[in-house]
Each structure stands twice: as C-alpha cells, then as structure tokens.
C-alpha cells in the first residue's frame, strides 16, 4: 500500500474516507502517518533517520479497543550497496553478449 502525505505550510494534514480518518505530518525529525479506523482500530507509521543518517527506522504501531496492549513492530533499513560486477560485458553484432572477468586479459 502507499502512504501519501500532502504536507503543507499549515503543518499536519488530515482527511476523511469511507474507512476512517488519516493524518500525516512532521513531529520534530519524524514523519508520522496515523489512521483511525472503524471499531477502535488505529495504525501509526513513524519514519526517522538514525543519528548518523545511515539507517531508516520504520516503527509501526497497531492498537485496538479490543486488546489490552498495542503491537509495535520496528524495522531498520540500511542502504544496500552492491559489490562491483566481476565481469566486463559488451554487446556485439556477431556474437551478441561477450563477457570476461575484470582484470583478465581479453
């Protein structure tokens, strides 16, 4: 699913739909999305960067009037930098794709 926030100069933005009320906005260094759904169910997504800026923290909390305690799931994401490709490949008209190992003589 997509989280979309039309954040403006006025701060947090909320909207109403057939499912409930959505709100989004900044709280300090955190981007927060909240959904208040029917039956007392609420879902909150909070995005923030680590102090060094290397990791994205996504904390999701689901709460309901039907349970005593909310469920919180925290996911940390680090940018993946793929290793260098060990092959040199070129496209040729006669042999299509031709590859050799990097550093090896042609």
DSSP 18-55: SSEEEEEEEETTEEEEEEEEGGGEEEEEEEEE-TTS-E
- Domain of 63 in residue numbering reads as 13-78
DSSP string, 68-84: SS-EEEEEEEE---PPP
Q: Please list the pLDDT of the chain residue by residue as tens digits (106 residues).
A: 788 887 767 777 888 888 899 999 988 899 999 999 998 999 999 999 999 999 999 999 999 999 999 999 999 999 888 778 888 889 998 888 998 887 766 5
What total number of domains does the chain contain?
Answer: 1
pTM of the complete model: 0.71
Residue 18 located in a structural domain: yes
Residue 53 located in a structural domain: yes
Residue 69 in tokens: 């305690």
Residue 8 located in a structural domain: no
């Amino acid at each position: 699913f997509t989280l979309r926030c039309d954040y403006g100069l006025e701060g947090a933005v909320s909207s109403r739909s057939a499912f409930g009320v959505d709100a989004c906005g900044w709280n300090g260094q955190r981007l927060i999305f909240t959904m208040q759904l029917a039956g007392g169910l609420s879902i909150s997504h909070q995005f923030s960067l680590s102090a060094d800026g290397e990791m994205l923290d996504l904390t999701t909390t689901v709460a309901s009037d039907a349970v005593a305690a909310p469920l919180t799931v925290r996911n940390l994401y680090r940018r993946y930098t793929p290793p260098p490709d060990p092959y040199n490949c070129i496209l040729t008209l006669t042999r299509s794709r031709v590859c050799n190992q990097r550093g090896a003589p042609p």
